[in-house]
Amino acid sequence: MPSTSSPPAPLLPGWYTLGEPPQLIGSHCAGCGSHYFPRLATGCRNPDCSDSRLEDVPLSHNGRLWSFTTASYQPPAPYVAAEPFVPFALAAVELERERMIVLGQVVAGVDLDTLRIGMAMELVIEPVPAENEPAGRLLWKWRPAGAAP
């Protein structure tokens, strides 16, 4: 059985940096300027661009809230829930530079009534429950920009 003190590993290795500030890692097309998340192995998806050389780039750490909702019931597997399940919020955030909308959980403790479409949001990395790993796994989440950690 793994020790409870082992540091959590990323849930999706290579999808985000763990540094400060954390960032999602996407693909950027030098040919047309398009961004993608998650990273693309199949070349640019712009039908008018034949460029297949995509480079890995960190995406904006900040964005604007595009919309939000809740997971009030426990999602099915492969979602791993804490016991008991704690409902959580989800946010779709439009990244500042890339104008790409990225979905993710909202950090715990944010009052839904304080969320406003258009408000500034920032990316954080937090553990989420994982099977047989008490420390959980690290995943990106959204929180209102400047909110206390």
Does 44 help bind Zn ion (rule: CB under 5 A)? yes
Q: Write the binding mask 22 to 61 for other proteins: x where contact by CB under 8 A, - elsewhere.
A: ----x--x--xxxxxxx------xxxxx------------
Distance of CA 65 to the CA centre of its chain: 13
CA 49/CA 132 separation, integer angstroms: 45
Residue from 10, 31, 43, 129 touching Zn ion (CB under 5 A): that is 31
Q: How many binding residues for other proteins (CB under 8 A)?
A: 47
Q: Give the CA distances from residue 62 to residues 55, 71, 127, in Å, rounded to whole numbers and listed in that order.
A: 21, 23, 20
Q: Give the CA distances from residue 75 to residues 87, 139, 142, in Å, rounded to whole numbers and listed in that order.
A: 10, 17, 19
Q: Which is nearer to other proteins, 41 or 148 (CB)?
A: 41
What does the binding site for Zn ion look like in residue numbers (CB under 5 A)?
29, 31-32, 34, 44, 46, 49, 51
